[in-house]
Chains A and B, each alone.
Chain A
């Protein structure tokens, strides 16, 4: 962490790492943009079922989307706690965020197994292909986020996340909120808008 400002303060006054995270998120927008475009192009091209209308359980996925959205709230609470030096609440809300993320992942895993049981796999039809790859890559992003949250928790327990390095947690938060927002887009396009 110490290497990143060589010699002098930054030109814009913004921290280099924060800017790097924003640039990365810009890049990730194109990453998901391309995946979502693929889904949109292919959405009505499946010749054989099952199709979205056959297997989506909107209520179930709404609940898991709600869980993921709530994790953004706990993320904010954790950062706010660290910024005022309240390490106990920082850790509580960090664990809560990681837990909600894990619940979302578990829910996605269960959803995938149900779909496979109903006959939708990666190679059943183009809906299966695009659906699993799109939501799977989002799930991978969430999983990496959970790992980052748990690393932050570990750092906090070891006393390596002082109030003065709240920026580290803020960066994880930026990533986490981004992953949430992407889910809102995916949920709307894939689940809510009928093809």
Chain B
């Protein structure tokens, strides 16, 4: 057996390239997720800028119709699946174990696997750029536009295979976090004492576990139609509307998958910078749960224009309006948290406040298309584009920026520069309103989305030029952020362990945290656990030093999982399998062998 354990030995280096390739540390995986997702955020932004360049003037010919179709499809796919979702997961990885007082997630190697599959899925989805045949049927890819007849290039194949691979990644990651949050909480951390961000991570993970299989089936059926001539979405023998149902049964929980982590982040930020506990903590939690439940009953509001009939239209209009209630409750909870608080306008706080303002605008425009009659007027116009950007950019992205400014010191031990941060905030906040605000108007006066060119006599010229100008302001804001991120990670001001006087357990340990997180697993006796340890005499008291930390325990040997090659190998196997149908069967054979090698090595490798 000696030779077997030699073959299956685990990597020893935790540094350098191999350290990153074989890591199972949730913090390193969180960093990998964040850097990769920010990279794709830039790619998606470049795609958007190219579209705005084309749309700035009427009858423009900067970009061809075909390239424009690829750009709007890939912009949405990139921003949703390659940027916002994985940015949420980056925070789950970094924060959930720290917030619940755990040393890692429940399945460290599965966690690494989920990152590698995400990376490979992102590459597969983008392969089309190398042959100028990216997916071009829109991100929700309505049948039968996606059939071989109407999409003869490889583009929609990359869509099917890329999203299938990415779905596997999300599913594995989400299962891991469900188990971690249920099962790895520190002693005394009951569910109601659990930090609000971890709560939202929990709800999001459950949504992912249940929503991903639905889109998986939709994609499998579409893939069978394209590769094996089945008839699922054939207009003659199948049912083109079935795709819309499957897509939106996944798609609407998906929008809550995109926004709930953002809500969790701002729900941590407001209490810290208002120096007050989160107002109505249990209500915020139950609103999150209510949103997750009701999110399953609203999908057909994306389909009013398909002519479902008055009864389904009314039912889905009513459920859609109802889901605004728990969302509105949360907004009021945040406002009540700030109310009367001792407010500090840090960059993180400003982004969080911007989130409330912009997300509320997006929510209100959402209400206007919950009503089926007015939705019929708005469907497929720029009004919808304005709505989704107010909730996804004004909502998710603003909150994610807030989260980055807030938790960056915990991740790198250094503060992001506040002066550049505020410049970043104002550029993005103003630029985003200049870009997406006018889209409400041009949409309502009839400008259809997804047209690469518009004639000059429609009254749309001025506001399109304004929107394109706004997108440049936003882009400059993002460049300021990238500069700030890059500079501060190396030369930023040293932050200390608890720069914001914060409330949750991640701030009780060193910044950046040691690889084992907690030298001693803390015992939790209340919500906002770290706050009550710091201020045993109440909020007005003097902070007491809290002795959990971790710096002085380097001599303590804490057994942590060793790095492993097998998540990467298994991920490569899955990626090769995913590529089989667009390459050659031999790739599939190699993929299966690699997958078996990865999974049996995984099972058999020794712990040491």
Contact = CB atoms under 8 A, between A and B. Distances in A.
A164 interface: no
A6 B239 contact: no
Contact of B232 (A3, A30, A130): A130
Contacts of B176: 20
Interface string B198-224: 000000000001111110111011001
B interface, size bucket = 35 or more
B294 interface: no
A42 interface: yes
Contact of A6 (B103, B246, B603, B606): B103
Task: Name the residue among A20, A33, A122 with the largest chain B CB count within 10 angstroms.
Answer: A20
- Residue of A5, A6, A19, A128 with most chain B CB atoms under a 10 A cut-off: A6
A16 B106 contact: yes
B607 A2 contact: yes
Query: Interface centre among B109, B214, B249, B607, by most A CB within 10 Å?
Result: B214
Given A6-B561, A126-B231, A126-B238, 5 more contacts: A3-B607, A26-B209, A30-B211, A34-B218, A126-B232
B561 A125 contact: no
Contact of B239 (A4, A23, A45, A125): A45
A38 B241 CA distance: 11
A128 B603 CA distance: 39
Nearest to B100: A11
Nearest to B171: A27
A125 B237 contact: yes
Given A3-B24, A11-B184, A27 B232 contact: no
Contacts of A45: 237-239
Interface of B: 24, 102-104, 106-109, 171, 175-176, 178-179, 182-185, 187, 189, 209-214, 216-218, 220-221, 224, 228-232, 237-239, 242, 246, 249, 521, 558, 560-562, 600, 603, 606-607
Contact of B213 (A30, A133, A151): A30
Nearest to A16: B106
A160 to B, nearest CB: 8
Nearest to A137: B220
A184 interface: no
B521 A8 contact: yes
A27 B103 contact: no
Contacts of B521: 7-8
Contacts of A122: 224, 228-230
Interface of A: 1-8, 10-12, 14, 16, 19-20, 23-24, 26-28, 30-31, 33-35, 38, 41-42, 45-47, 122-123, 125-126, 128-130, 133, 137, 151
Given A4-B107, A7-B102, A23 B178 contact: yes
B103 A11 contact: no
A27 B175 CA distance: 9
B24 A125 contact: no
Could you tell me the dominant secondary structure of chain A's interface residues? helix
B111 to A, nearest CB: 10
Given A3-B107, A129-B231, A12 B183 contact: yes
A6 B231 contact: no
B106 A7 contact: no
A4 B221 CA distance: 35
A37 to B, nearest CB: 8
Contacts of A35: 217
Given A47-B237, A123-B229, A16 B224 contact: no
6 contacts: A2-B607, A8-B184, A16-B179, A27-B212, A41-B242, A123-B229
Contacts of A46: 237
B179 A19 contact: yes
B428 to A, nearest CB: 36
Contacts of B213: 27-28, 30-31, 33-34
Contact of B107 (A8, A20, A33): A20
Given A6-B560, A34-B213, A129 B232 contact: yes
Contact of B230 (A11, A129, A151): A129
